[in-house]
Every structure is written in structure tokens, then in C-alpha cells.
Structure 1
Amino acid sequence: MKKVLLLSLATIFLLSSCVSKKQFTDLQAKQKETQDLLNSATVKLNSCLADKAAVTARATALEEQIADLRKSNDNLQILSAKGASSIEKTLESIKEKELKITRLQDALTKKDSVTLALVTSLKREVGINDPDIEVNVEKGVVFISIADKLLFKTASYNVTPRAKEVLAKVAKVINSKPEFEAMIEGHTDSRSFQKGVLLDNWDLSVKRATSIVRELQDLGVNPGQLIAAGRSHYVPLVDNDTAENRATNRRTRVVVLPKIDQFYEMIEKEMKNLEAGGN
């Protein structure tokens, strides 16, 4: 569901709209915190499911006991009002715990189901058969990776006409998911770059990210959902030792993820409810 940016100080000369390195680091930390919480919630859920199986078996046995006792007048005399009340309270407690477990499970699976639907939409809208466009999921987050040659001319940050066609499809999917955010990451190869006001690969990667953000905004995407980030050449997919590998590393990645705060609050609330029920 699923329920990360770096910027160089050099971007001050270019883009006041880009996120700062601190903001990017904070987002990365927040996403890691949420992932850790998800992992913790999953462990807790598995433990609770085991408890649920045990208490369900116990409840079944108790219900059978009550049924047997009610069949016999002699046994009904043995069963005191206090004992019957205790059994009924136990069954009620079991049902409440089952409800809390179900709510937590729903919270965890909701993000997975939404993510799956999002991937399906992206593959249908963007055209997954294009070798220059890749849609995948990593740790509950949807990534759209678009090859550099499809978006920009060499050493340029101006969006090509072909790119606008692809971005129009991406915009359509983002617009259909207002509860999601889209972070645009610019990636370059490791060759040194300097041109005009662009000082280095940091500048180029950020400028390309903001070009894509502006294009998506022009296509009707809510700018409040968009984040621009440049990664320079520091997150390569392969070694920058051949022309082919450098071309692979030159890419723009659209990271589609649920709004972290909302998802974090949802999971945190259900974890607290479950813990309160356990106490």
C-alpha cells in the first residue's frame, strides 16, 4: 500500500521548487520508519493469528459444553448462573479480539490490494510492452522507470514530444489516485557534466526532475502530490563502464507511494487497539 529525496546545495542556483537534501533525507527516514512499522505489525499479526486459532478452538469447546449442559436437566442444575456468565464473557472477549485482529489485517492488506490495482492500471495505461518503460513494485512501493532517451535529448532537460505522450498516461493514473504521492527522481550516468548554468550531474538530474514535474502539472496533476528530486549518478543500476550501461543508468523514475503520514497513522491506530485488547 505501502502505506526519499536528496538534493545538492548546487540546486539553489536553479530550483527553489525542489525539495532540499534534508527534506529528501527526512522522507527516506519516514518511509523506512513506516516499513519498520509494517514489519512489526506483520510479526504482531502472525502472533495474533496463532492466538486466534487457539482461542477459537477454546470457544468451540466451550460452546459445545454449554450445548451439552443445556440438553440435560441434571447438568443444567450443576451449571451455576455464575459459571454460565463467566463462559459467556469469555466468548464475548474472544469475539472482540477476533474483530481487532481482523481490523489490523485489513489495514495491512489494504495497501497491498491498492498497490496491486495501481500496478495493473499503470501497466495498462503506460504500455508495459515498451522496453524503455518498466513498472514494478519494491517493498510495497510502485516504481515507473523511464529510459533517458525516451524523455530527453542528450545533455538536455527539455521534455521531448514522445515523452509527453508517455507522461500523459502517467498523469492519468496519478490523477485517479489522489491519496497517493508521486516523487520524480532524475538519474544520470557518472560522466562529468557542465553546461551553461548547469554545474554538474546534480544540477542536470534535478532540472530533469522538475521538467517532468512541470509537465505533469500542465497535464492536470495536483502539484500537492508531486515531489521533484535529483539523484545525480550515485544510485546506478549497473556499473558505468560501457556506453550501454551508462545509457541504462540515465533514467527518470516515478515513485508512486501512499501518503506516508496517513498510512502511518492508520497502522499505528490499529496496533494500539490490538495492544489495548491484549492487556
Structure 2
Amino acid sequence: MKHPIIPVAILFSGLLMTGCVSSGKFKGLQLDYDKLQTEHRDLGQKYQQGQLELAEGRTRIKSLEEQLAYEKANNAQLKEAYASLQKSLDNSINQNSQGNVNISKLVDEINASNKYIQHLVNTKNKSDSLNMVLTNNLTRSLSREEMKDVDVQVLKGVVYISLSDNMLYKSGSYEISDKAGETLSKIAKIIQDYRDYEVLIEGNTDSDPISKPNIRNNWDLSALRASSVVQALQSTYGVDPKRLTAGGRGEYNPIADNATANGKMRNRRTQIIITPKLDQFMELIDKAPETDTVNTVDGM
């Protein structure tokens, strides 16, 4: 919006042309003229500012309208999703009521399963504790010199006692050496203290073929060495033979590379493997809760 300043300028010029004007009036007119120009300039600036604010307001309104449209569309989708979930819930309720599910029986079976799981956990903890005590007792009973030829480990609840052939047998033979007697006696005492454990004696060799008239191959050598240890534990140290098993694995269960002398030495070993009796595991299975659980719901 623009104010008419030109007529004021014309009037001012007319007054000058029509005659003499006193200096006082002239100054007054001059001041009025300057004031009008200032007001006109201020109004012009306000007009431009107003136009900018109007444009910003229109932009903001458009943005709000777009946001409102988006929220309306989103609200419609939520209503559809809610309706779908409500329908699914209604169907589930109807199917459950039609299926005649015995909730009380399900809860009882879940509780029985939980008790069985806790029983297994307690049994495993007990077994782990016994294995740890067994291992500690064994390692404490062996001298530092004996520990060089004996390796004791507990893996997955089973105790492995690995004996080097240098300590156990005469060279190239399955006969037990005199040197092994004291060590075997200590191991036998531990085995006697834990009568609820089975004992597997497992012979292992390196990959070098054996050349003896009474030994055909490494299968024979490994089995004969395991048998010698079993018979020593039974005859010399009084271990119940019903707890003992002898087995040979030949060269087919290596723990090191047979390409090196050190690897071959590690592979030539006899392992005494101590495990809980099989009937104890079967007892755990017998204690498992019956699996007469209703796994399906009619109509589902």
C-alpha cells in the first residue's frame, strides 16, 4: 500500500508560486513534508514485512495440512490393524473354548518338567563337584616327577587320566614296567574311593607300524596295553573287574601330529577314563516326566 505524496509536493510548490510565504510557515510546511516522507517510508517497510509474514504463514498452514493428512492416513491404518488383531483374538478365544483344553493338566505337566530339569541340574552339579574332588585328590597324590608323565583333565563331566607309554610299558611291549607300579597304585586308590564310577582303559599308539611276532599291528598293541592295565588294576590293586573295560584305538585317535617325534610321543598313551555308571543315566531317564501332554488344540 502506497500513500499519495505527490499531491502534497504539488501543493507545496503551488504555495511557493502563488506568492510569498513567511519563513515560519515555510519551515512548518517543510517539517510536515519531511514527516510525511518518513511515515511513507515506515509504512512501506511495514507493508513488506507484512507480506513476508503472510507468505510464512501460508507455508506453515500448508505444512500443517500435509501433516494432518498423514496422521489421518496413519490413524486409518492403525484402526485396520486393531480390527485385525481383535478378530484374531476373538478367533483364538473361540477355538480355545471349542478345543476343551485342560489348563490345569497343562500346568501340572509344566511343573513336572520344571522339577525334572532342576533334578538334572542338581545331578550335573553333584557330578561336576565329585569330578573336581576326584581330580584334586588324584593330582595331590601324584609327585611332581609323576605329573610329567600323567595328564588329568575333566571334559564334559568325564575325568581323563592320560599316561605316557614311556612310564607305563617296556619299550615296544605291552608289559607294564616296574616304574609304573607306584603311579598305578595311586590311581587305583582314587578309583576305589569312587565306586559309583565306571572305568574305561583305552590304548592309543602312534602311526609307526609295529613289528613283533606276537603283535600283528597297532590295533593289537593298543588293545593289549589297555588289557594289561585292566588286569593290573584287578589283580594287583583289587579294583572290581565289573567296573573295568579295556579298549584299543590303535593309531586312529591322535592328539598330535605324527609327523614329528614329539607328536608321536604324545600319541603313544593310555587313557583311564572315569565316568558315572550307565545305570545312573538310565535312572535319570526313568525319572523323566511322562510326555502325555496335550500338544494340540482342537480346531487350531
**1:124 corresponds to:** 140
**1:164 corresponds to:** 181
Q: Larger radius of gyration, structure 1 or 2? A: 2
Deviation at 1:123, TM superposition (A): 1.7
In 2, Cα distance between equivalents of 1:277 and 1:125: 51
**2:130 corresponds to:** 114
Give TM-score, length-normalised by structure 1. 0.60
In 2, Cα distance between equivalents of 1:121 and 1:278: 49
Q: Is the contact between residue 104 and residue 271 of structure 1 (CA under 8 Å) also seen in structure 2? A: no
Structure 1: where are the runs of 5+ without partners?
A: 1-90
Deviation at 1:99, TM superposition (A): 5.2
Q: Is the contact between residue 112 and residue 289 of structure 2 (CA under 8 Å) also seen in structure 1? A: no
In 2, Cα distance between equivalents of 1:246 and 1:232: 13
Equivalences for residues 31-180 of structure 1 within 5 A: 101-127=117-143, 130-180=147-197
Q: Give, as a single letter, the amino acid of the residue that structure 1 aligns with 2:286.
A: K
Deviation at 1:145, TM superposition (A): 0.3
Q: Is the contact between residue 116 and residue 288 of structure 2 (CA under 8 Å) also seen in structure 1? A: no
Q: Give, as a single letter, the amino acid of the residue that structure 2 aligns with 1:209.
A: A
In 2, Cα distance between equivalents of 1:187 and 1:255: 13
Give TM-score, length-normalised by structure 2. 0.56
**2:7 corresponds to:** none
Deviation at 1:122, TM superposition (A): 1.9
Structure 1 residue matching 2:262: 3-state secondary structure: helix
Deviation at 1:135, TM superposition (A): 0.4
**1:232 corresponds to:** 250
Instruction: Answer yes or no: is 1:202 the counterpart of 2:219.
Output: yes
In 2, Cα distance between equivalents of 1:233 and 1:165: 27
In 2, Cα distance between equivalents of 1:190 and 1:220: 34
In 1, Cα distance between equivalents of 2:187 and 2:249: 21
Q: Deviations over 1:179-206 (max 9, x none)?
A: 1111111111100112021111111111
Aligned residues: 189
Q: Is the contact between residue 184 and residue 209 of structure 1 (CA under 8 Å) also seen in structure 2? A: yes
The CA RMSD measured in Å over matched residues stands at 2.8
Instruction: Answer yes or no: is 1:211 the counterpart of 2:190.
Output: no
In 2, Cα distance between equivalents of 1:94 and 1:158: 56
Structure 2 residue matching 1:219: 3-state secondary structure: coil
Structure 2 residue matching 1:146: 3-state secondary structure: strand
- Structure 1 residues 205 and 276 mapped into 2: Cα distance closer, same or farther (>3 Å)? same
User: Higher relative contact order by CA 8 Å / sep ≥ 6: 1 or 2?
Assistant: 1
Structure 1 residue matching 2:254: 3-state secondary structure: coil
**2:6 corresponds to:** none
Instruction: Answer yes or no: is 1:220 the counterpart of 2:238.
Output: yes
Structure 2: where are the runs of 5+ without partners?
A: 1-106, 296-300
Deviation at 1:116, TM superposition (A): 1.9
Structure 2 residue matching 1:120: 3-state secondary structure: helix
In 1, Cα distance between equivalents of 2:186 and 2:205: 24
Q: Deviations over 1:113-147 (max 9, x none)?
A: 22222222222233477121100011111100011
